[in-house]
Chains A and B, each alone.
Chain A
Amino acid sequence: MISVEHLTKCYGDIVAVDDVSFKIDEGHVYGFLGPNGAGKTTIMNIMTGCLSATEGRVLIGGYDIFEEPCQAKKLIGYLPEQPPLYMTDTPLEYLKFVGEAKGLGGSELKEQIDKVIEQTKIENVKNRPISSLSKGYKQRVGIAQALLGNPKVIILDEPTVGLDPIQIVEIRDLIKELGREHTVIFSSHILSEVQAICDQVLIISKGKLVAFDQPENLEKLLLAPNEIIITTDARDKEIRDILAKINHIVDFTIKEEGAYTKAQIKTDHKDVYEVSRQIFLGFAEKNKTLLEMALKKTDLEDIFIELTEKSNSNEATESEGIKQ
C-alpha cells in the first residue's frame, strides 16, 4: 500500500531523516515510536506531501507523492500534530470545505459527513464555532477531517497528546475501530499506547528506522536477560550456594531486608520457567522457604530504551573515532 524508499531529509547540515525505507500493507494498525525530535513528524509530513524530501521516494498505492500528488493524496487522510482547523468555522462548515476539496459533492458529501460525525461522536457540537471547543473535541474534528473521502490510509500524528485519560482511551478505541476498515499509521512517544493498539511497530531514533516488527516479536528479539525476583528467609550465603548450582544465571544481586532477603536474578535461558523451577527446587532441597517469586519480563519499554540508546552510543563512538 505504502512504500517508502531511501527517504532522506536534510535541513542544511542537520539530517532529520536518514535513509529510511519500509513497506506498509493494507489493513493493519502501524505505530511510529520514537522520542521527541526523532523524525516521526518529518517522515509523516513527507509521506503526506506536506514536505519535500532531499532524497528517496514515497509510493502511495503505486502513485509517487511527488510526481502524482493529487492521486496519491486522495488515498490518504492526514491529521498533523496540531489539528489544522479554521477557528471561525463550525465543525459542519469545516468538514464541508474539506469534503469539497477532496472532490466530494451532493448527497455523497452529506452521507460522508454524517458518517464521520457519527464515528468521531461530534454530533452535539457540530454547530458550535471550533474555537469554543475543548482540545479533545478539536482533535476529533481533526480526525473526522482525515476520515472524509474514505481514504485507504489514515495517518495520525500524536493523536492523543494533551488529552485527558478518558479522552485518550476514547481516541485509542476509535483508532482500533478504524483499523478494521483502513490502514492506520499513528505516531506516539508513549509505549503502552503503541503496545496496546498496534499490529506493527516502527521504532525511530535520530532519523533512523531502528526496528520494524510486531510488538511480540520485538520482545523476543531482545537480547537482555529476563529477571526473576525472589523474597526468601534464607540468608545471603545460603542463597549464593543455591544459585551457584543453577545454570544460565548471568548475574544476581542480594539485599537483606530485616528478617527477609530479596534477590534479583538475571537469566539468559530461553525458558524462564525452567530457571524458576530450578530455583524453587534448590531452595526446597536446603529446606528454605521461598516467600515470593516474581518474573519480570522485558517489555517494549526496555527494547525501546535499549534500541534508542544503542544508536546513541554508536553515534558517540563514531564521533570519537572521527576525533582520533
Chain B
Amino acid sequence: MIAVLKHELKTYFHSLATYVFGALLLAFVGIGSVLYNIQAAVSNFEFVLSFGSLIFVIIVPILTMRVLAEERKQKTDQLLYSLPITASQVILGKYIALLLIYLIPLSLICFYPLIFSRFGEVYLLTAYGSILAFFVMGSALISIGVFISSLTENQGFAAGIGIAIILFNYYSVRISEYVSSTAIGSVIAMLLLILVLGTIIRYLTKNNYLAYGVSGLLGAGILIVYLVDSTKLEGLLPAIMRKLSLFERFNAFVNGVFDMTAIVYYLTVIVFFLFLSVQSLEKRRYN
C-alpha cells in the first residue's frame, strides 16, 4: 500500500491535473474570501467555503478521472494484479494519495481565517470546524470519483460522468422542490432507482440471479408499502434527494453547527464507494 501511495504521489506531481486542481480550488476560495470577508466584511469564513464548494463539480473529476481508467488503458493494471498486493491495498494507496494532494491547497486555506483574525473578530472554532467538514465532504466526492474512474478506461468519459453526478448532487435539493411528491410518483421513482441498483449489481457481480433477486425483493417491498399505506410514500422522493445531497449537509456547518451525523454520513459514503471500487477492480479479473 505504501509503495502504491508513494508512486501515486510522484505521478501526481508530474501531472498537470494536480496543479489545475489546486489552482482552481485556491482561486475559488480566494474569490470567495474577497467577496465575503473583505468586500462585504463578513467575519464568518464558513460562507466562503459554502461558495467555494461549487468548484468541486469541476475539480474532483479532473483529479480522479485518471486514477484507475489510465491504469486500464495503459495495461498497467496487469502489473498491479500480478504483484503480491491486494486490490484493497491498491485502492487505499491511491485514495490516500488523492487525499494528500487535496490537503495541500486546503492547508494553505487554513491560514486565511488566521490572517483575517488579525483585522477583526473571526469565529475561529466554526471556521476550522467547517474547514474540517469541507475536507471530509471533498474526500467523499473524491471517493465517488475514484469509483467512476474504475468503471471505464476512458478518462474523458470518467470525467464527464463525474461532473454530471456531482452537479446533480449539488442541485438535487433545488430540483427536489419540483419533483412529484405524490405517492405514485415516489413508487415510479423508487422502481427506477431499484432498476439502476440492479444493473450495478449485475455489472459488478455478473450474477443475474442476485441482481434480479435484490431488485425483485426491493420492488415488491415498495409495492406492498404502497398498497398497505400509500400516505407513507408521499413526499418520499424529494426527501430522499435532500438526504442524499452531500452539499446540503454541509449547510449545517455553514450555519455554525458541527453536525456529527453529517460527518458519519460522509464517512459512510467514502467507505461505500471505496468498497465498490475494490469490487470493480476485482471484478475485472472475472470477466
Taking Cβ atoms with an 8 Å cutoff, the residues of A that contact B are 11, 45, 48-52, 69-71, 73-74, 76, 78, 80, 82, 84-89, 93, 97-98, 100-103, 145
Contact = CB atoms under 8 A, between A and B. Distances in A.
Given A97-B7, A100-B2, A74 B84 contact: yes
Given A50-B78, A84-B79, 8 more contacts: A45-B78, A50-B285, A88-B15, A89-B7, A93-B10, A100-B2, A100-B6, A101-B83
Contact of B3 (A48, A84, A88, A101): A101
B6 A73 contact: no
23 contacts: A45-B78, A48-B82, A50-B78, A50-B81, A50-B82, A51-B285, A52-B285, A52-B286, A69-B86, A70-B85, A80-B78, A80-B82, A82-B75, A82-B78, A84-B75, A89-B7, A93-B7, A93-B10, A97-B7, A100-B2, A100-B6, A101-B83, A102-B83
Interface string B56-90: 00000000000000000011111101111110000
A88 B7 contact: no
A103 B75 CA distance: 22
Given A84-B75, A145-B79, A97 B6 contact: yes
Nearest to B77: A84
Contacts of B77: 84
Given A50-B285, A52-B285, A70-B86, A86 B81 contact: no
Contacts of A82: 75, 78
Highest count of chain B CB atoms <10 Å: which of A80, A86, A101: A101
A3 B161 CA distance: 44
A73 B83 contact: yes
Contact of A101 (B74, B78, B84, B287): B84
A69 B76 CA distance: 18
Contact of A85 (B10, B11, B76, B85): B76
Interface in B81-126: 81-86
A322 B3 CA distance: 55
B99 to A, nearest CB: 19
A97 B3 contact: yes
The size class of the interface chain B forms with chain A is 20 to 34
Nearest to B285: A52
A11 B285 CA distance: 12
Contacts, number: 72
A98 B77 CA distance: 13
B154 to A, nearest CB: 17
Contact of A86 (B2, B6, B76, B286): B76
Nearest to B283: A52
B76 A84 contact: yes
A207 B3 CA distance: 37
Interface string B246-287: 000000000000000000000000000000000000000111
A145 B76 CA distance: 12
A97 B7 CA distance: 6
A145 B81 CA distance: 14
B78 A69 contact: no
A101 B76 contact: no
Contacts of B4: 101
Highest count of chain B CB atoms <10 Å: which of A51, A84, A93, A145: A84
Interface string B1-24: 011101100110011000000000
B82 A78 contact: yes
B8 to A, nearest CB: 9
A80 B3 contact: no
Nearest to B2: A100
Contact of A87 (B74, B83, B285): B74
A80 B7 CA distance: 21
Contacts of B286: 52
A49 B6 contact: no
B84 A70 contact: yes
A45 B286 CA distance: 12
Contacts of B82: 48-50, 73, 76, 78, 80
Contacts of A89: 7, 10-11
Contact of B78 (A84, A86, A102): A84
A85 B76 CA distance: 6
B85 A101 contact: yes
Nearest to B14: A88
A84 B74 contact: yes
A49 B81 contact: yes
Q: Which 7 A-B pairs have the closest CB atoms?
A: A100-B3, A84-B79, A73-B84, A50-B81, A97-B7, A101-B3, A78-B82
A87 B15 CA distance: 12
Contacts of A101: 3-4, 83-85
Contacts of A51: 285
B74 A86 contact: yes
